[in-house]
Amino acid sequence: MLTGQNHFKQELNGYAPVCVVIPCFRCADTINRAVESVAAQTLKPAEVVLVDDASGDNTLDVLKRIELQYPAWIKVIALHENCGAASARNAGWAATNQPYVAFLDADDSWHPEKIDCQYRYMKNNPDIGLCGHLCAELAGGADVVLPTLPGSFHATKVSALNLLFKTAFSTPTVMLKREIASRFPEGKRYAEDACLWQLIAFSGIGVVRLEIPLAYLYKARYGSGGLSSSLWKMELGELANFYAHYRANRIGVALLLLAWGFSLIKYGRREFTLGMNRIIRNWWAEKI
């Protein structure tokens, strides 16, 4: 177990006592970009854990080569059964003794000052157990334009009620305290991240969002490849989260029905928007 003195020495050497966990599933084409964005941090995390979720292709070989490039800094864990990102993140979380854990997806990347900004905020605000921030979407292959970060930025407190009705932040923006008892629901493949954020907030742990974009997503949140393309399954996952909170007496029946209704309205709007976009794209393709 690392001590406070060890953590201080890490900071002096340019490392933050943070473990970065990246779940990996058939991501051989994108994982290098993600890892390079971590390696480029002005304040580097103490360790990086790449968790291969039984990809079954050449992903594990690519991860092993990356591990050799960064000895004693990157660790690869290979799961024997594909259980989804929730279980992969939990495996990486369990493999570290660093006091903070940050999550990054294999197809996304970070601003070089992400760890510096977020870790120092959490260190200076010990009442905060979970911290997210804004991100920029770069769908369509757009290049990253690194903005100069302001000297100060606003942090917005996020309540459990907020998290029931709105997605406050994406998983690749989250840093949290390792000591938190709650974990991602094992085996859950849809809305598992939102479930954990809600559990943490309901437990009374401080949650905030930094109003500064420090992560880059290379596909739209909804309607593109990956799990986000399965809108109805994502919706069912979110509805199941609300019911689980109701069964655990975290919310009452009125709030359950309100959350269900609001969620279904959002789902309908997303489906309508995606449908209209498809119609417009097809019409434009025929015109040209």
Position 282: which residue type?
N
DSSP E strand boundaries for 225-288: none
Residue 118 near residue 42 (C-beta atoms within 8 A) = no
* pLDDT at 226 (0 to 100): 45
**φ, ψ for residue 249, nearest 5 deg:** 65, 25
* pLDDT at 273 (0 to 100): 84
Rounded CA separation 92/85 (Å): 11
**What are the residue boundaries of the structural domains of the chain, listed by start?**
4-219, 222-288
User: What is the number of other CB atoms lying within 10 angstroms of the CB of residue 280?
Assistant: 10
Least confident interval from 86-90, 108-112, 168-172, 230-234? 230-234
Mean pLDDT of 22-30: 98
* pLDDT at 116 (0 to 100): 96
Alpha-carbon dihedral angle through residues 63, 136, 184, 114, given to the nearest 10 degrees:
70
Residue 75 near residue 48 (C-beta atoms within 8 A) = yes
Residue 91 near residue 77 (C-beta atoms within 8 A) = yes
* Residue whose tokens read 């996304």: 108
* pLDDT at 1 (0 to 100): 46
Residue 40 near residue 33 (C-beta atoms within 8 A) = no
* pLDDT at 121 (0 to 100): 96
* Residue whose tokens read 């995390």: 45
pTM across the whole model: 0.90
* pLDDT at 76 (0 to 100): 98
Residue 173 near residue 136 (C-beta atoms within 8 A) = no
Per-residue pLDDT of 251-285, as tens digits, reads 999 999 999 999 999 999 988 888 887 788 777 77
Per-residue pLDDT of 101-146, as tens digits, reads 999 999 999 999 999 999 999 999 999 999 999 999 886 555 666 6
- For residue 224, what are the contacts with CB-CB under 8 A and spacing of at least 6? 139
Angle between helices 59-69 and 31-39 (to 10 degrees): 20
3-state secondary structure 106-125: CCEEECCCHHHHHHHHHHHC
Tokens of 98: 């660093």
Topology given in CATH for the domain delimited by 4-219: Spore Coat Polysaccharide Biosynthesis Protein SpsA; Chain A (3.90.550)
> Shortest CA distance to 48 belongs to which of 18, 28, 15, 9?
18
* Residue whose tokens read 């493999």: 95
